[in-house]
Amino acid sequence: MRILLVLGMILGLAACSTTTSGISIESSNQSVVIGNPNLANRLSIEQANVSVVNGLLKAGVPVTSQIDSDLNLQYRFYWYDAQGLEVSGSDSPWRQVVLHGKDTMTLQAVARSPQATQYRIYIRKADY
Protein backbone atom coordinates (compact mmCIF):
# COMPACT_ATOMS: atom_id res chain seq x y z
CA MET A 1 0.00 0.00 0.00
CA ARG A 2 2.86 2.36 0.80
CA ILE A 3 4.29 1.78 -2.67
CA LEU A 4 1.00 2.91 -4.21
CA LEU A 5 0.99 5.99 -2.00
CA VAL A 6 4.55 6.91 -3.01
CA LEU A 7 3.73 6.29 -6.67
CA GLY A 8 0.65 8.50 -6.34
CA MET A 9 2.74 11.22 -4.74
CA ILE A 10 5.31 11.07 -7.56
CA LEU A 11 2.61 11.20 -10.23
CA GLY A 12 0.89 14.03 -8.39
CA LEU A 13 4.13 15.96 -8.24
CA ALA A 14 4.57 15.66 -11.98
CA ALA A 15 1.09 17.06 -12.59
CA CYS A 16 0.94 19.73 -9.90
CA SER A 17 0.35 23.40 -10.47
CA THR A 18 2.81 25.99 -9.23
CA THR A 19 -0.03 27.88 -7.51
CA THR A 20 -0.91 25.01 -5.16
CA SER A 21 0.57 25.53 -1.72
CA GLY A 22 0.22 22.13 -0.11
CA ILE A 23 -1.06 18.59 -0.55
CA SER A 24 -4.52 17.51 -1.72
CA ILE A 25 -6.04 14.04 -1.31
CA GLU A 26 -9.23 12.97 -3.07
CA SER A 27 -11.40 10.32 -1.42
CA SER A 28 -12.79 8.58 -4.50
CA ASN A 29 -9.46 7.19 -5.64
CA GLN A 30 -7.03 8.30 -2.89
CA SER A 31 -5.11 10.32 -5.47
CA VAL A 32 -2.57 12.70 -3.97
CA VAL A 33 -1.67 16.02 -5.59
CA ILE A 34 1.48 17.65 -4.25
CA GLY A 35 1.98 21.37 -4.67
CA ASN A 36 4.71 21.68 -2.06
CA PRO A 37 7.43 19.02 -2.49
CA ASN A 38 9.19 20.23 0.67
CA LEU A 39 6.07 19.45 2.73
CA ALA A 40 5.62 16.13 0.91
CA ASN A 41 9.12 15.08 2.00
CA ARG A 42 8.27 15.88 5.62
CA LEU A 43 4.87 14.19 5.75
CA SER A 44 3.62 10.67 5.06
CA ILE A 45 -0.09 10.09 4.37
CA GLU A 46 -1.75 6.75 5.08
CA GLN A 47 -4.99 5.17 3.82
CA ALA A 48 -7.99 7.22 4.92
CA ASN A 49 -10.69 5.89 7.22
CA VAL A 50 -14.24 6.64 6.08
CA SER A 51 -17.45 5.86 7.96
CA VAL A 52 -21.02 7.11 8.30
CA VAL A 53 -22.06 8.63 11.63
CA ASN A 54 -25.73 9.54 12.11
CA GLY A 55 -26.19 9.64 8.34
CA LEU A 56 -23.18 11.91 7.75
CA LEU A 57 -19.88 10.98 6.11
CA LYS A 58 -16.91 11.03 8.49
CA ALA A 59 -13.35 11.02 7.13
CA GLY A 60 -10.07 10.52 8.95
CA VAL A 61 -6.70 10.85 7.23
CA PRO A 62 -3.66 9.62 9.22
CA VAL A 63 -0.51 11.69 8.67
CA THR A 64 2.96 10.99 10.04
CA SER A 65 5.86 13.40 10.44
CA GLN A 66 9.03 12.19 8.75
CA ILE A 67 11.23 14.71 10.58
CA ASP A 68 12.40 15.14 14.17
CA SER A 69 10.99 18.65 14.70
CA ASP A 70 7.42 19.95 14.89
CA LEU A 71 5.35 20.62 11.77
CA ASN A 72 2.82 23.45 11.96
CA LEU A 73 0.02 22.46 9.59
CA GLN A 74 -3.37 23.66 8.44
CA TYR A 75 -6.00 21.45 6.82
CA ARG A 76 -9.54 21.70 5.54
CA PHE A 77 -12.08 19.33 4.02
CA TYR A 78 -14.38 19.91 1.04
CA TRP A 79 -17.39 17.63 0.57
CA TYR A 80 -18.89 16.43 -2.72
CA ASP A 81 -22.11 14.62 -3.71
CA ALA A 82 -22.38 11.41 -5.77
CA GLN A 83 -22.09 13.40 -9.03
CA GLY A 84 -18.84 15.02 -7.87
CA LEU A 85 -20.36 18.45 -7.26
CA GLU A 86 -19.43 20.38 -4.16
CA VAL A 87 -22.14 20.21 -1.52
CA SER A 88 -23.44 23.69 -0.67
CA GLY A 89 -21.86 25.04 2.51
CA SER A 90 -19.34 22.21 2.62
CA ASP A 91 -16.18 24.25 2.86
CA SER A 92 -14.82 24.30 6.37
CA PRO A 93 -12.39 26.79 7.89
CA TRP A 94 -8.69 25.98 7.95
CA ARG A 95 -7.88 24.02 11.11
CA GLN A 96 -4.47 24.38 12.69
CA VAL A 97 -2.52 21.51 14.24
CA VAL A 98 1.00 20.85 15.42
CA LEU A 99 2.38 17.48 14.38
CA HIS A 100 5.30 16.66 16.64
CA GLY A 101 8.47 15.05 15.29
CA LYS A 102 7.99 11.45 14.10
CA ASP A 103 4.42 11.48 15.49
CA THR A 104 1.20 10.33 13.78
CA MET A 105 -2.09 12.19 13.92
CA THR A 106 -5.44 11.65 12.22
CA LEU A 107 -6.94 14.71 10.53
CA GLN A 108 -10.69 14.25 10.61
CA ALA A 109 -14.01 15.92 9.92
CA VAL A 110 -17.70 15.12 9.53
CA ALA A 111 -19.73 16.39 6.57
CA ARG A 112 -22.51 18.84 7.36
CA SER A 113 -24.88 17.36 4.79
CA PRO A 114 -26.15 13.82 4.17
CA GLN A 115 -25.68 14.43 0.41
CA ALA A 116 -21.90 14.27 0.87
CA THR A 117 -20.49 10.98 -0.42
CA GLN A 118 -16.92 12.05 -1.24
CA TYR A 119 -14.38 14.47 0.14
CA ARG A 120 -11.11 16.18 -0.63
CA ILE A 121 -8.68 17.29 2.06
CA TYR A 122 -6.09 20.01 1.60
CA ILE A 123 -3.03 20.10 3.86
CA ARG A 124 -0.57 22.97 3.92
CA LYS A 125 2.21 24.32 6.07
CA ALA A 126 0.95 26.98 8.50
CA ASP A 127 2.48 30.45 8.27
CA TYR A 128 2.85 31.05 11.99
The domain locations on the chain are 32-125
Mean pLDDT, rounded, for 15-31: 64
pLDDT (tens digit, 9 = 90+) per residue, 29-61? 767 788 899 999 999 999 899 999 999 999 999
Whether domain 32-125 has CATH 2.60.40.3230: yes
Give the pLDDT confidence of 80-92 residue by residue, as tens digits: 999 999 998 877 8
Counting beta carbons within 10 angstroms of the beta carbon of residue 54, is it exposed (0 to 12), middle (13 to 18) or buried (19 or more)? Answer: exposed
Is the separation of the CB atoms in 14 and 32 below 8 Å?
no
- Smallest Cα–Cα separation from 32: which of 40, 23, 41? 23
CA neighbor of 123 nearest in space, from 45, 51, 27, 55: 45
Q: Taking 90 as the threshold, does the pLDDT of residue 24 lie above it?
A: no
Q: Is the pLDDT at 19 greater than 90, yes or no? A: no
pLDDT digits (tens, 9 = 90+) for 57-67: 999 999 999 99
